[in-house]
A and B are shown apart, each in its own frame.
Chain A
Amino acid sequence: QVQLVQSGAEVKKPGASVKVSCKASGYTFSDYYIHWVRQAPGQGLEWMGWISPNSGDTNYAQKFQGRVTMTRDTSITTAYMDLSRLRSDDTAIYYCVRDGAVAPKNDAFDIWGQGTMVTVPS
């Protein structure tokens, strides 16, 4: 079945970086954009950006530009999200999500990973 499986929980010190992985299976990885969305404890959803697994092109939300890097390895159908210069307010669950349309079109987010908790103690 179509699924996204993410790496495990992380605890990082302020100022450090974290890299979260997202393994895709059950569909043609290169056909659909992968987005990253985060959710702070008890808060709403925040879109961070997307990557095209086919071309490697990226589009980051302005808030995260300069701190986030999204990459992919097509040989192992895995996407990565690297967030640097971590602060306590980066503590959140990070989700990778598949776009519902075949690229280059875009649509709603139809498949979600299970989420990765990243904790940055203050």
Chain B
Amino acid sequence: DIQMTQSPSTLSASVGDRVTISCRASQSIGTWLAWYQQKPGKAPKLLIYKASILETGVPSRFSGSGSGTEFTLTISSLQPDDFATYYCQQYNSFSYTFGQGTKLEIK
């Protein structure tokens, strides 16, 4: 199975900060990578798919990059609504694995 490792596990930041979350795959997955945002008590929400394509309706301050085994989610200017937990997910060849999550907290 492909393992996904996110870093950091927790990130403290302030409104207006630029933040980056990393995700590493244990083997190459091309660009078959998605990012999700989850708030307490809610289902996850798709933000980015195919590593860099923004889901409809997602603010442009979110962006994704990478290919192969190294991927990044960037939020260009944090807004109060962005404090949540973020998960990466690989979906290469009909196998699916999530990272362990990154909790974005208010500093």
Which residues in A have some Cβ–Cβ distance to B below 8 Å? 35, 44-47, 50, 59, 61-62, 95, 100, 106-110, 112-115
Contact = CB atoms under 8 A, between A and B. Distances in A.
B83 interface: no
B96 A47 contact: yes
A95 B87 CA distance: 15
B44 interface: yes
Q: How large is the interface on B (under 10, 10 to 19, 20 to 34, 35 or more residues)?
A: 20 to 34
Nearest to A107: B49
11 contacts: A44-B99, A44-B101, A45-B98, A59-B94, A106-B94, A108-B89, A108-B91, A109-B36, A109-B46, A110-B55, A112-B43
A17 to B, nearest CB: 24
Interface in B82-107: 87, 89, 91, 94, 96-101
Interface of B: 1, 34, 36, 43-46, 49-50, 55, 87, 89, 91, 94, 96-101
Nearest to B47: A108
Given A45-B87, A110-B55, A100 B46 contact: yes
B98 A108 contact: no
A47 B44 CA distance: 13
Given A107-B49, A108-B49, A115 B98 contact: no
- Per CB-CB distance, the 10 closest pairs between chain A and chain B, nearest first, are A108-B34, A108-B49, A112-B43, A47-B96, A45-B98, A44-B101, A44-B100, A110-B46, A108-B46, A115-B43
B92 to A, nearest CB: 9
B43 A95 contact: yes
Given A35-B96, A108-B89, A114 B43 contact: yes
B44 A100 contact: no
Contacts of B98: 44-47
B100 A109 contact: no
A84 to B, nearest CB: 22
B94 A47 contact: no
Contacts of B100: 44
Contacts of B46: 100, 108-110
B73 to A, nearest CB: 13
